[in-house]
Each structure stands twice: as C-alpha cells, then as structure tokens.
Amino acid sequence: MSRNVNGLNVVVTGKIDGETRQSAEAKLRAAGAHVQAAVTAGTHLLVTGAAVGATKTNAAARVGAVVVSWSEAMLGRPAPADEGPLVQKGAKVGRQIGPMLALAHEGPLPGAGWLYEIKWDGYRCVARCEGGTVSLQSRNGLALNFPAVVEELEELETDCLLDGEMIMVDAQGRSSFHGLTNARGSGVVYVVFDVLEAQGMDVRGFPLEARQELLHDLVADGRLVQISPAFEDGEALLTHARENELEGIVAKRKGSTYQEGRRGPAWLKIKLRCEQEFVVVGWTPGKNGRVGRIGALVLAVNDDDGMILAGRCGTSTDVESALVLGLLRDLETEVAPSALRLTAEERKECRRDGVTWVRPALVVQVEFQRWTDDGRLWHPSYKGRRVDKQPADVRREPCHEARAAA
C-alpha cells in the first residue's frame, strides 16, 4: 500500500507478520512520526515486511528509494521540526568506517608509555570532511544529523577523516548521554580525538603521537568542535574524573597505530561509573497507577553461547515509556528469544510477572551501581535508547573502582 505521511511518499509492501491490512494501515498512521524521524524530508521510503523478496527491494534501490524494515522504521524517534532526527536512515555517508574500540581494563593503570584522555559519554562519530562537504557517521554506519557541528567542520581548510564523540555537556561540565538523547541536536559538542585520513593520505598506520600532532594542525578548538586533551599523568586524570563524577578515562599506548573496527589492548577504557548498553528482550506490565504502561524492561547481554538475562529497569519518564512501548509492541513474540538461555527458575519468575517477550532489536543505555554476585544489575537507572549500537555487539562489561598503579 502507498500512503502520504507528513509529506513523504511511504510504501509498505510484503506481509507483516500477524497483521491484517486494516491493522497494518492503522499502525502506519500511528507510526507517522517515527517514519518521519527515520528519513530526510522528501525521501521516498519503502518499508518492508517479513516476506519481501529481493526483486522488490532491488528495484526500489535502483530508483533511489530508501529500503528499511518495518521494525527499523519504528526505531526512529520523533524530533522537533526545526532540528530534525539525530539519525538519518538512508543518508549517504560513503564507505562505512568501523572506529577503533577500547578494551575494558581492570586493575592498576598501565603506567608509563601511555597517554590518557577523558572517557566521553555520547555517540561515537566519524566525520568525513571532503571538498567543503561534511558527513557524520555513527559507529554502526548510520548518518548522524548535527547541522551546527557540520557548519563548523565545513570551515576546515584540509580534507580529512576524523574520529571522536558527539556529546552534550551538562551544567556541571560533564558529558551527559541522557542530555544528548533529549537535546535533539541543540548544544552538542563534537570532541575529536583521532585522525584517519588527511589530504587524501591514509594515516591509520602512523603512531599515535604523530596522528595527534597532525590532528592539532588540522583542527583548531572552536565552539562546537574541540580536540580531546591527552595527558601523561593517568593517576591525576583518574583523580580528576573521580572528583568530578565522570564516567572514566581511556588509556592509549604510545606508538600504537589506528586499528579500524578492532577492539584491542592498545586502547583501554577504565570506568568509574557503571554504565553500558543492554538489549531489551521483554517487558513487564505496570501496576496500580501504571496500568497499560511499562513496569520494567527485561534486559540481556550476549556471551559466547547466546544471551543471558542481566536484570530489569524502568524507563525515565511517562513520555519515554510510551515511546518505548510503541516500539516494543511491534517486536512482541509469544516465546522468549531463541538465543536467550533461561534457567527453570527464571522461566517461572517471568511467567509469574507476566513478561511479554520481544525480538532482541532495541538497545538501551543503563547506569547502575554494580553487578551482583549472580550477574544482575544493582539499582539500575534508565538513560535512553541507543540507535547507534547493534544488539549483537552488546556484552557485559566490567564495573569496578580503578585502583592506583602499584
């Protein structure tokens, strides 16, 4: 079927599991804001159901239509018209860049031979600046939409490929992921910490210190684009991070090259605050005054053998709860995800609490006090949804108080 949604020519084709034409049309009307948030104005969008063949999708791609799944379209988030969505599905960003990732570190700081930076709490962002045109790409290849940052990057005199973090700074001067997800692009700062290409030359193989020197030649600190400072004294930076309630710090080995898409020992992250992503695999109904709303999200992480439960967490506000519930309704299943390993006691507990299972497609950010001895979250606090992270990448990360070097 074809329908005009907020000025977009949206076509839904194929079979949507468990839906009649009438209920599918009703869902499409209700999802108009989500669909609008998933594409740029004027884009022709093909929303595909479960049984769509390659013939239709290939034909759509040849004429420039954006092809997304029904669930993917629903994972967008409505945004004010003057700001646009944080993520622009279907926007062209060139070859996908898998940024280098840090390995979680436990124990004393590694000491000499390392440089240290603040661990920023935002969206990882690779910026391609070429011929006066700038594109922003998330960690998993989505186009990010921060027009004010783009305008400042367009002023760079040299073509380059930059790596950094898109953050929102709160009143205390800390990067705030919750603030970022609610800012919708206003007041965001792009903190740059590496360069991959400059003047058409690939510099990933240059040592860390040479790349940082080049970065300072390319980028001057501005209002919205700033270079992440690096320090030799990791203990002093760790103390500063602890006193200012920052998420943590990152240690980078001197002389190391940029390993695109790899998580290895050359970059180490030391967390002071327990916060990470989780996959939503179900939800429990609200009680008393919250009937018809989400009581708690059922969270999981991946391990080598599939997925395991990590605990439960409420949502931050009634508005966010309603948005999340709208997304989860389209992902509901009658049974738990096949990859999720449940003990007999866990199955009994989930039946008792009326858990509604969903396909593992939605990723959320959660802050918590610690992991319990049985692998559950202690005092979790919902921070927001992660549209820049893939469910398959979510694994349990260490949470500890970093210790001083011996």
Give the DSSP H/E element, type plus range, for residue 29. helix 21-30
Catalytic residues: 119
Residues 301 and 353 in one domain: yes
In a domain, 398, yes or no: no
Residues 196 and 290 in one domain: no
Residues 110 and 187 in one domain: yes
Residues 266 and 281 in one domain: no
Residue 74's pLDDT is 38
In a domain, 404, yes or no: no
Residues 319 and 231 in one domain: no
Is residue 309 within 8 Å of residue 288, measured between CB atoms? no
What DSSP line would sit under 357-405, residue for residue? EEEEEEEEEEEESEE-TTS-EES-EEEEE-TTS-GGG-B-----PPBPP
Residues 364 and 336 in one domain: yes
Instruction: Report the candidate in 45, 53, 52 with the shortest Cα–Cα distance to residue 14.
Output: 52
Judge if pTM exceeds 0.85.
no
**Domain count for the chain:** 3
Residues 199 and 255 in one domain: yes
In a domain, 261, yes or no: yes
Residues 110 and 252 in one domain: yes
Q: Could you list the residue range(s) of the whole structural domain that residue 63 is in?
A: 2-74
Domain closes at, from 33, 55, 74:
74
Residues 345 and 199 in one domain: no
Instruction: Report the candidate in 109, 214, 210 with the shortest Cα–Cα distance to residue 160.
Output: 214
Residues 246 and 281 in one domain: no
Residues 6 and 106 in one domain: no
Beta bridge partners of 211: none
pLDDT along the chain (406 residues), means of 10: 42 50 49 38 44 49 46 39 50 71 88 93 92 90 89 94 90 66 69 95 96 95 93 93 88 96 92 90 84 89 95 87 91 95 95 96 91 90 88 85 43
What is the CB neighbour count within 10 angstroms for residue 233? 11
Residue 322's pLDDT is 87
Residue 173's pLDDT is 64
In a domain, 328, yes or no: yes
